[in-house]
Structure 1
Amino acid sequence: MKLPITCPSCEHNLNVSQMKCPDCGTQVSGDYELPVFLKLKRDEQDFILNFFISSGSIKEMAKQADLSYPTMRNKMDDLIEKITKLNTL
């Protein structure tokens, strides 16, 4: 099951309110903001993971996705811009 990151009613980002240790059952409650990575859509998270796995090579990612380097670079630039905005909120 995927972790929901946006409210199904108003589409604002969700916060974490409770976490539980599966081993001992300890629970931590509060109002915690999700890390920037988890605020991204699943395909954006996958893009970052693929970038990491390809040793940071946009050229390799473009080759694997059968896209041109400029197209892949534009996707990267868009994601960088989004992360920068999310990180300053």
Structure 2
Amino acid sequence: MKLPVKCPSCEKALQVSQLKCSHCETVVNGNYDLPLYMKLTNEEQDFILSFFLTSGSIKAMAKQAGVSYPTMRNKMDDLIEKIQKLKK
């Protein structure tokens, strides 16, 4: 199960407020932003992992997914644009 990143009521971004060690039970409290990668959908995370595992070959990713290179390139461009917006 993926960590929720949006509020189920208002759709605004959630923040991490507590972390707990399962070994010694230490608890850390505060307001922490989620890492950028965690703000992406499961599909977007899988896309990045696939890109990494194909050594950055969009051609290989397109072949594995059974889509054209331009289609895969468009998906890449859309994800790049989303990441750039999240970084601001």
Distance 1:32 1:5 in 2: 12
For 1:53 and 1:12, how far apart are their aligned partners in 2? 32
TM-score with structure 1 length normalisation?
0.95
Query: Secondary structure in 1 aligned to 2:85?
Result: helix
CA distance in 1 between counterparts of 2:21 and 2:54 reads: 33
The match for 1:58 is 58
Q: Identify the residue that residue 42 of structure 2 maps to in structure 1.
A: 42
Structure 1 segments unaligned to the other structure (5+ residues): none
Percent identical among aligned pairs is: 68
Find the counterpart in structure 2 of residue 72 from structure 1: 72
Given residue 52 of structure 1, which amino acid in structure 2 is its aligned partner? Answer: F
Structure 2 residue 6 is the aligned partner of structure 1 residue 6: yes
Does the residue aligned with 1:82 lie in a helix, a strand or coil? helix
Distance 1:39 1:46 in 2: 13
Cα separation, 2, equivalents of 1:53 and 1:20? 31
> How many residue pairs get matched?
88
Segments of 5+ residues of structure 2 without an aligned counterpart are none
Paired with 1:47 and 1:22, the residues of 2 have a C-alpha distance of 31
Take 1:50 and 1:13, find their aligned partners in 2: how far apart are those partners? 26
- Corresponding letter in the other structure for 2:16: V
Distance, in Å, in 2 between the alignment partners of 1:78 and 1:72 is 10
- 4+ long deviations beyond 4 Å: none
1:23 CA displacement: 1.2
- The one-character-per-residue Cα deviations of 1:20-73 (angstroms, maximum 9, x if unpaired) are 111111111000010111011111111111111111111000000000000000
Shift of 1:15: 0.5
